[in-house]
Structure formats: structure tokens, C-alpha cells
Amino acid sequence: GAVVSQHPSWVICKSGTSVKIECRSLDFQATTMFWYRQFPKQSLMLMATSNEGSKATYEQGVEKDKFLINHASLTLSTLTVTSAHPEDSSFYICSAPNQNTEAFFGQGTRLTVV
């Protein structure tokens, strides 16, 4: 099956700093990728749709200035958590659809803000 690689798998950062998370489709092109956030024991909440070559589409309640998304190529989308605070600590995970029926997920990034 298709492979989506997400990096880093975990990161600890200080409050007020920014963190960039990368999501790469390794063996297929993804014009669209999706970013989710998951708190412990909870569901995956869609944050935004990353569109190659255009602006991301954010879900209601997600601050676009805080969660910057860039999709500069057909194989790479990045999520930058700006001015991170402890409440941003979560599991962030990207996905890319393959033929739109099956989503391939990255390994996820566990962000801890101290």
C-alpha cells in the first residue's frame, strides 16, 4: 500500500516556540492532505485540508494563524504550530487519500509543550 511518512514522531518544545511537522507521501502524489489532532482517548479531529499550490482550508474553530499549513509540492505538506502553549500538546497526524476511498496516515507526531 501507499506510504505516508511523518516527521518528527515526537517533539518537546518550550512554551512560545514554534514547531514544524512534515508529512510526505513517499510513493504517490497527493494534491490533498489532511491534518488531524487527537487528544488521549479521544477521536481524530480534522483540523484542516492542505491543498497543493493553494491555501489550506481550516475547520471551524481552528486558528489558521496558529496552525500554519504549507503544501508546496505534490508530496509534502507541513504543519507549523506557532507560539505553542501547553494546551497545544497533542498527537498530530496527517493523512493522504489514495483514490479517495482509503486514507493513508503518517505515524503521527506527539507534541509536548512545556
Partner 1 sequence: GQSLEQPSEVTAVEGAIVQINCTYQTSGFYGLSWYQQHDGGAPTFLSYNALDGLEETGRFSSFLSRSDSYGYLLLQELQMKDSASYFCAVHGSGNTGKLIFGQGTTLQVKP
Positions touching partner 1 (CB under 8 A) are 32, 34, 36, 41-46, 49, 93, 95-97, 100-108, 110
In contact, 89 and 112? CB cutoff 8 Å: yes
Q: Which residue's CB is nearer to partner 1, number 82 or number 91?
A: 91
Pairing label, strands 44-51, 57-58:
antiparallel
CA dihedral (69, 105, 112, 10) positive or negative: negative
For partner 1, the closer of residues 11 and 82 by Cβ is 11
SS3 (DSSP) at 60: coil
Nearest approach, Cβ of residue 43 and partner 1 (Å) = 5
Instruction: Compare residues 34 and 67 and give the one whose CB is closer to partner 1.
Output: 34
Residue 80: is it exposed, middle or buried by C-beta count within 10 angstroms (0-12/13-18/19+)? Answer: middle
Q: Which is nearer to partner 1, 52 or 82 (CB)?
A: 52
Nearest approach, Cβ of residue 47 and partner 1 (Å):
12
Nearest distance in Å: CB 21, partner 1? 13
Query: How near is the Cβ of 65 to partner 1 at its closest, in Å?
Result: 22
User: Could you give phi then psi for residue 86, rounded to 5 degrees?
Assistant: -50, -30
